[in-house]
Structure 1
Amino acid sequence: MNPPHDSRRIVLIGGLILTALTLAAGLAVYAVMQRQAEAILVNSLEASLQSDRRLFLSEINAGVANALTVSTRPFVIQNLQRIKGDPRDPTGREALQRIADSFLQTGFDGVVFHDVRDAEVARAGRLTVNPALSVPLNTETPARLLWDGQFILQVVRDVVDPSGVRLGSARAETTLPPLMRSLAEAGGQGRTAELAICAPLDVDMQCFPLTRTHRVFQRISRSQDGQPLPMSHALKGHSGSVFTQDYRRVPVVA
């Protein structure tokens, strides 16, 4: 027997076992910490997105409700009735112009009235002519979200008399500064953080300017290299989180 040699073998084997155990423990701790970090990231992301979602719904619903006052104001109905009887009635036109001007003092950026023949009779403020993007909203009252350098809520509604007879239409537009702030603040969550606001467009999608690119996507595929983009899941009504690549081919949590 060679006790010194056996002793060295025991020490070597013991050292290897200790190293293996240390590595295994380290990997286990790393895996646990990775899962915890991912859970924290996902929870933070979901909380942020839910907050943005509530803000968008609140602003749009409030904007639509305010726009309804334009088409339902009694003086609007009365004067469009006058113009229906006499399209050249100066009293009705002047009254509608004053009403349109007054709406600018209540937060609207632009208001226009058309008579039953769809001829313009009064206009006030700034109205969008050729927005970069115009997306219909899923609201009880038909409305659209526009992009013309900023978010704009547009509501076009028929003006009807008490019997439901159409007298003309009213179009109201309102900018939505809180949505602009939300878009800007998303970029402050991290160097790669990005907020995307998209809508379905046939099998593709259309997106308002993203936090990083500041570019409107009038049409973009929902998939890339055969894999669905993160927004594709949202447009299908799915919820949750996914680890994948975005349109930049950058690994993301969405």
Structure 2
Amino acid sequence: MKSDPVLYVFDLDGTLADTAGDLMGTLDHIMLGEGFAPTPLEDSRSLLGAGARALIVRALEAQDKEVSPERLNDMFERFLAHYETRIADESRLFPGVVEALDALEQRGGLFAVCTNKVERPAKLLLEKLGVADRFAFICGQDTFGIAKPDPRPLLKTIEAAGGEVRRAIMIGDSKTDIATARAAEVPVIAVDFGYTDLPVSEYAPDRIISHFSELPDAAAAFFAASEGGKDDVMAG
């Protein structure tokens, strides 16, 4: 008797793809246009991960600056418009992503994305990177009007992708992803090469991987099919 498929729900920026160059380049374009200083690329690990609006706010805070809600909204809208013009100029999938998806798919795995990126650029980026069709559902910050770390985007993504919570696993790179998975009572694997100000081990994910080649075996630790077709979810 074949076990139910596992749904792998991925974060996007810092997990599936290294997008810092295009995001920070867009941020500098907006900040310089507003008369603010550019932001060093090396600061991206602590600034990225919560969406474009939060990125702008964090960059302003780093300069001890503050703008009105109206001005912030205008900067956010112009950020989105400019970002789409260069969305994959420098962005690339992390090494081993395609091979990991192939291996997991051979095991019957299904895939979805749950990101704090706005849905339209999230889909556009995945199309440019040639993997959009691998995902049964792509959830952005505005898809359900709720952002991570609220668990509802993850839970709704699992449902929309045709998965089940008991057979789902989150793969992310940050405190936000781990908190989201914990709140949804879904196991979480963290990559250690993403965008986080502290080492991801500080947030106690269930597993940590340093390359996508490690993902299939790390995920298998949670979903080991027993004889007779029943599954044991193993938290480790």
Q: TM-score, normalised by structure 2?
A: 0.32
More strand, by proportion:
1
Q: Which structure's relative contact order is higher, taking Cα pairs within 8 Å and 6+ residues apart? A: 2
Larger Cα-atom Rg: 1
Q: TM-score, normalised by structure 1?
A: 0.30
